[in-house]
Amino acid sequence: MSESRAEAVMDKELLSALGKSELFMGLGQELGRRLSFFSVSFSRGEPISELQNGVDCVGIIVRGCAEVLPGLTGRVSIIGPGSEFGICNIFVREDMPTELRARSSCRAAFMPKAVFAELLGKSSTLMYRYVRLCNEKMLYLARKLRLMSIPDCQRRLAFWLGRSQTAGEVRLTLSRDELATSLGMSRSTLFRAMRQLEGSGIIRVRGERILITDPDSDIFKEELSDSKESGDSQKKGSFV
């Protein structure tokens, strides 16, 4: 791991990443020199920690990509330039239950969380974006919990397909192993669930494309109904 600090001057690579960031896009003029980062380079497979030089930081991927791991097993997602990390525990001093690793040789830029918290008080735009991003992450978690609460693997796959499809088609960006892990099942169980859905004429698998051939199937209607009931019960509970 190598480090290069860039407190006052930002290079083109970092500026490009900030331009893709949901949080920092277009805020250079408003925040000026307060928007300062230091950068660290990571080798493939190296963990990317929020703790840098003994200081808790927020980060943004500048070059390359990293993978988010739940603990030490199974890939959840891949993030690239402009993606932020370390932002969900700004005001709560508790480690996130995930691990970030460099999927390729990559570079990340860091800002101390204390500095980021100060910026939230100085920029209403940054505050709005931060709250919105946290809300999106909460919704993602709620959907993930809903997905993992479905005990039947065939229905769980159908639930995921129904919410991942665009115009009746799902284009896989994950390997079969990665998809199985993200759905909380083994590779063999995933293939069996796919074969069952395909044998029932509900889907057709074509390499990295999954076509939903029977969108009116009861299996999708059941999941939509269950999802609505789950949402109604959550509104009455303490979760929201």
Domain edges within the chain: 2-144, 149-236
The mean of the pLDDT values for the chain is 83
* Number of residues assigned to the chain: 240
Q: What is the dihedral of CA 69, 20, 4, 6, to 10 degrees?
A: -140
Homologous superfamily (CATH) of 2-144 is Jelly Rolls (2.60.120.10)
Which pTM value belongs to this model? Answer: 0.67
Q: What is the pLDDT of residue 222?
A: 58
Q: What is the pLDDT of residues 93-118, one digit of tens each?
A: 777 777 899 999 999 999 999 999 99
Q: How far apart are alpha carbons 121 and 130 in whole angstroms?
A: 11
Distance CA 73, CA 11 (A): 35
For domain 149-236, give the fold: Arc Repressor Mutant, subunit A (1.10.10)
